[in-house]
Chain A
Amino acid sequence: MRIDGTKKTKRVLGLAAAFAVILGACGGGDDAAEAPTVTDAEEVELTSSDGGILAAVQERGVLRCGVSGAAVAFSFTAADGSMNGIDADYCRAVAAAVLGDATAVEFVSLTAAERFTAVQTGSIDVLMRNSTWTQSRDTDVGMDFGPTTYFDGQQLMARAADGFTTSSQVSDVDGAVVCTNAGTTTETNISELASVLGIKITLTTFEDYDQVTEAFIAGTCDVITTDGSGLVGRKSVQEPSKGAWVIFPATPFSKEPLGPVYAQNDSQWADVVNWTVYATFIADEYGVGSDEVSAAAAGDFGPEMVRLMGGEGELQTVMGLSATAFADVITQVGNYQQIWDRNLTPVGLVREGSANALWNKGGLLYAPPAR
């Protein structure tokens, strides 16, 4: 095909234009969608460079809180779209303390794989995602752990018809088919314990816990294992008849302390998160719930509660919070018992006698004094 000069020029230009369109679409597709109308000159400062996370959250007016979004009783999306659970409530508590508004939370649903990266890169302010506090995680670059809000531990669940009772021991499952979900520490824990006890178990793993439970119901598994809170939840909803399934041993065979995680080396922010958690413990200790806050601030529950509820002194203001920060937490979210009743009681978890009772009731929940 012969083309004369002008036609060739035309074609060159035409194709150049076509490619300009392509490039424009490549660049423009995203720019058009989200190009900020601020000029480059009036650029937003990176807020975390000065003043820390606390200042950044107060500036932003909303707390970015990392949760699981798919962990029953801890953080799950209810049918009306709201995020519920004990982890979600602790996000609200921190928001109430920092911003005075428990609803000023942006929940970020994270998978197990991406949760710690989100803390380290600062894309979330605090992580409340049923994460176990371990030595390696704590010493890992970029993150610190706060006070434990829920003491969990691995247990086993089996059928009562197979002769298991609540007083059964791990050594009783000798020769059984034990199922759990793949790639978790539960898998390592049970096989380590089995070799220590010298029992022989057949370990079968599934992709997720729904499949584990289905296999248990179908009879493929004799025993299933995961954290106690998970087993109780499954038992309360999926048990075919009352008392058909039993959970044992009474004392879990692993320690899984779950609590908040935040960025390393920001003591001010760490203090805010830690003391928000402690405030819910102390209020529980004194029996101060959402309805008793004003009475507590007036002195009906003693001087420590007066200080904590902002009645006198400046314990909260030196932290960079308002004097009534923790009063807001208790009013809007509640004390530990109220948070428990709202989230963990419905799935059948009992607080009395567990590690999650207060220190003066035989449990492990202990807060330093507020003075």
Chain B
Amino acid sequence: MTTVINANVSSQKSWFKWVRDNLFSSVAGTIQTFAFAALVVVVLRWLLGVAFAEKNDWTAVATNMRLLVSYNYPLSQFIRIWVAAGVLLVCAAASLGAWRFDPALTVKRMARTFYSVAVVAALCALLMPSSAPGVLVRTLWLVSTVLAIAGFAASAVASKRNNLTVSFGALLTSSVVGLLAILWFVPFGNYGVVGGSPFANPGDTVARSTKEPWTVIFTLVLFTFWASRALGTKTVAIVRSALLAFWLVGPAFLIFVVLRDPAFDWQRVWAVDVPLAAGFAFGGGLLVYLLAKPTRSSLARLVGVALSAFAILNWVAGFFGWYGMLQKVRISMLLLAILVLILPAFAGSQSKRLRIAVAWGGFILVLHWLITAINTPSTLVISAPPFLGGFTLTFAISYYVVLASFPLGVLLALARTSDLPLFRMMSTAYIEVFRGVPLITILFLFTVMLPLFLPRGMAVSDLAAVFAGYSIFSAAYLAENVRGGLQSVRQGQYEAANALGLTVFQRTLLIVLPQGLRVSIPNLVGQGIATLKETSLIAIIGGFDLLRIANSTIPNQPQFLGQKRPGLLFIAMVYFILAYTMSKSSQRLERRLDAGRM
């Protein structure tokens, strides 16, 4: 990397040379450059004209920001949304710090980025139609000027010290400060609703109720980032595992405990839920600890088969209503049976056994807490359920669908590539059936038909049905992506693993999957992006996602009748930012994993 940078001589000269070599190298090249530049200008002008036409009332978006973010979540409980957003962002910052995220940002490259953004901003400001809000044009000029100066300063510094880099922390800090300054000082206007009637103060900066929480959150984000950067090697390992655990279960807690605020019946919780959870956690943990000894493998299998038979019997009994049982017991029983069945593969030393037992206990406690929270009525008074809507709903669904379909898809891919015909056939049937059916059909099936197939007395909310149906659908696609990756692992790798005496599990987990998954990253991220965009389909079964709000809620408010375009353009931007972030981080991940390969 450094050699490449040093090879470039004085930046001024190299700029000139680059332009001459790449843009005006020949007559044809010059014509192409001008033609393309003209095309860009025309398209940009047309786009801005569409977006900021006189008939587009952008205050429709500003006034309805609350709906777009969280739909009809009660205003008095908004602190919950801020807490949830804050926890997510702070944990993201902590993760960046704890995993020492520090891409090599050369000052030279930053200068180039600054210059190009400044040019784009200036171009946009120039091409804005006269009906565009003045504050936007002024902000664009301001951003353009500031970035041009910053770019000039950066290139001046870089011309002296060519390979100078800037730490990611410095960049994060300055962007956060810049963002907060814009939020506090640029008069974007203050729009909203008070007591049912909308108000508009175009000259103001955004509402204090927006600025203040963001300021607090961003301050905490910066603090956490730097704090987690400063951690020692020993503590950072603990923090990393804590963060991993958070990313697996944290969002569910944020949704179902923080946002939904269950009204726990404490008497019942102490009398039924706590003893049950404790019993499964400690009893199951003890069983696992005892059976995980390598010498007790055959006993573990025997117990596992017995437990599985009992667990399956419980489900069958529940379906036909032979005897009653808490659903939680059925689920925990099944999970314990599965764990005991696969236990021989993980059998090992005392510390390893203890780790497995503790992991089981923690998992069960979390699971039981979540199930109880989900089944407790919410204290929120929401006039049109479900309690999630807008951006929150889009984000929650895509996050959990990706999270849930990943393990399911990997298992399906493994089954489909296995030598056992039965599993291969079952997996193929699953994949082909779910790939052959449109997503809308599956969503309808799960919201309308699923309740008919469930055991008596069991209800599924629309939201949960969507989560389940969508994950099952997505897993079928994911399985094929992963299978593509698995097939790229050469036969020699399997043979080498066998020669080392690895078990099937060890071979799969340590040799095959890491190589296979790395190959399938582009496809997996592509599917993640598709999942994010397809969440808008839940509008059909009654959810209020971003698209439905922009397309049918806002244009039907009396003061914004027919104002469809601003809302649609706004959500297009939101989707683009999310999808682009995903694709960028996947590129980074690919580069990093590839670097490890060399």
Contacts and interface: CB of A to CB of B under 8 A. Distances in A.
Interface of A: 1, 7, 10-22, 24-44, 69-73, 76-84, 103, 105-110, 210, 213-214, 217, 233-234, 237-238, 346-347
Contact of B321 (A40, A105, A108): A40
B531 interface: no
B504 A14 contact: yes
B553 A77 contact: yes
Interface string B440-469: 000000100010000111111101110110
7 contacts: A18-B423, A31-B327, A40-B324, A44-B457, A76-B558, A107-B384, A210-B555
A256 to B, nearest CB: 18
Contacts of A38: 457
Interface stretch (B115-123, B153-161, B414-422): B414-422
Contacts of A14: 342, 345, 504-505
B338 A20 contact: yes
A32 B334 CA distance: 12
B558 A347 contact: yes
Contacts of A40: 318, 321, 323-325, 455-458
B341 A237 contact: no
Contacts of B553: 69-70, 76-77
A51 B198 CA distance: 43
Given A14-B342, A79-B67, A237-B558, 19 more contacts: A11-B420, A11-B504, A17-B338, A19-B426, A22-B415, A33-B468, A34-B464, A36-B457, A37-B272, A37-B326, A37-B375, A39-B457, A40-B456, A70-B552, A70-B556, A81-B67, A81-B72, A213-B562, A214-B562
- The winner among B498, B504, B558 for most chain A CB atoms within 10 A is B558
Contacts of B456: 40, 43
Contacts of A35: 327-328, 331, 371, 375, 458
B495 to A, nearest CB: 8
A39 B456 CA distance: 10
Interface of B: 55, 63-64, 66-67, 71-75, 192-193, 196, 198, 272-273, 301, 308, 315, 318, 321, 323-328, 330-331, 334-335, 337-338, 341-342, 344-345, 367, 370-372, 374-375, 381, 383-385, 404, 407-408, 411-412, 414-415, 418-420, 423, 426, 446, 450, 455-461, 463-465, 467-468, 471-472, 494, 498, 503-505, 542, 544, 552-553, 555-559, 561-562, 564
A17 to B, nearest CB: 4
B558 A346 contact: yes
Nearest to B71: A81
Contact of B562 (A17, A28, A237, A346): A237
B324 A41 contact: yes
Contact of B384 (A80, A109, A233): A109
Contacts of B564: 210
A238 B192 CA distance: 21
A30 B468 contact: yes
A109 B465 CA distance: 18
B275 to A, nearest CB: 13
B388 to A, nearest CB: 13
B342 A17 contact: yes
Nearest to B426: A19
Which applies to chain B's interface (DSSP): helix, strand, loop or mixed? helix
The 8 closest A-B CB pairs, nearest first, are: A81-B72, A41-B324, A33-B464, A35-B327, A39-B324, A43-B457, A30-B468, A80-B193
A18 B414 contact: yes
Contact of B331 (A11, A31, A110): A31
Given A18-B411, A30-B460, A36 B375 contact: yes
Nearest to B541: A114
Nearest to A240: B55
A13 B345 CA distance: 10
Contacts of B192: 79
Contacts of B367: 32
Given A79-B193, A210-B564, A20 B334 contact: yes
A30 B324 contact: no
Contacts of A71: 556
Nearest to B329: A39
Contacts of A1: 419, 494, 498
A73 B558 CA distance: 7
A24 B559 contact: no
B180 to A, nearest CB: 26
Contact of B561 (A15, A28, A72): A72
Contact of A32 (B71, B342, B371, B411): B371
Contacts of B372: 37
Contacts of A237: 558-559, 561-562
A70 B548 CA distance: 10
A340 to B, nearest CB: 14
A233 B557 CA distance: 10
A233 B371 CA distance: 47
A69 B407 CA distance: 38
Given A15-B420, A21-B411, A83 B384 contact: yes
A119 B367 CA distance: 37
Contacts of B74: 81
- The winner among A7, A24, A73, A346 for most chain B CB atoms within 10 A is A24
Contact of A233 (B63, B196, B335, B561): B561
B445 to A, nearest CB: 12
A110 B541 CA distance: 9
A39 B315 CA distance: 13
Contacts of A34: 374-375, 459-461, 464
- The winner among B64, B328, B407, B458 for most chain A CB atoms within 10 A is B458
Contacts of B494: 1
Given A32-B370, A79-B192, A237-B562, A15 B321 contact: no
A242 to B, nearest CB: 16
